[in-house]
Amino acid sequence: MRSETSYDLDGDLIVIDASLLGPTGRGTVRLVLDTGSTLTTLTPAIAEALGYTSTDRVSRSVVRSAVAEEPGYIVRMAQLSTLGFKLSGVLVNVAELGHEIDGLLGMNVMSNFNLEIRPIEQRIILERLAPAS
């Protein structure tokens, strides 16, 4: 299956829309596509609006930057829909990001696809291949 989606820029950052489903809510967020982020990350305010708290955590986490370490926790998201695909059970890190963004789309989601970014066209092409038999 293949999907083509346009994206927005916030400065030099690629920003995409995502729909999220949690235990008590659903919402639409703006995520920065971040190939340097291992895990998809949401701010605590977004996670709480969907019904996730630290009591739902799978494990604890620490987000390290050049200037600080932020404690966080990892939850299993009921559903994440973005770039033309729906994924269930995605691990999502919940931590303060220190910027005015809802979160990051990390490699734990993107590694499920062949990914092509076309900056001049501001399009992302994703392709999910059938598993080898």
pLDDT at 131: 64
36 or 79, greater pLDDT: 79
pLDDT band at 133 (very low <50, low <70, confident <90, very high): low
Strands (E), 1-133: 2-6, 8-10, 13-21, 26-33, 40-42, 59-64, 69-82, 85-94, 103-105, 114-118, 123-127
Structure confidence by residue, pLDDT tens digits, 101-126: 899 999 999 999 999 999 999 999 99
Residue 74, CA distances (Å) to 27, 43, 129 in order: 19, 11, 27
In the 3-class helix/strand/coil scheme, how is 70-98 assigned residue by residue?
EEEEEEEEEEEEECCEEEEEEEEEECCCC
Angle at CA of residue 36, ends 2 and 78, nearest 5° = 60
Q: Where are the domains of the chain?
A: 2-127
> Is the model's pLDDT at 69 over the cut of 90?
no
**Strand 40-42 to 59-64 pairing:** unpaired
pLDDT digits (tens, 9 = 90+) for 1-47: 999 999 999 999 999 999 999 999 999 999 999 998 889 999 999 99
Name 24's Cβ contacts closer than 8 Å, sequence gap at least 6.
Answer: 50, 51
**Superfamily of structural domain 2-127:** Acid Proteases (2.40.70.10)
Per the model's pLDDT, the better-predicted residue between 98 and 32 turns out to be 32
What average pLDDT does the chain have? 91
Q: Which of 48, 11, 50 is nearest to 32 (CA)?
A: 11
pLDDT at position 20 is 98
Residues 6+ apart with CB under 8 A from 2: 125, 126, 127, 128
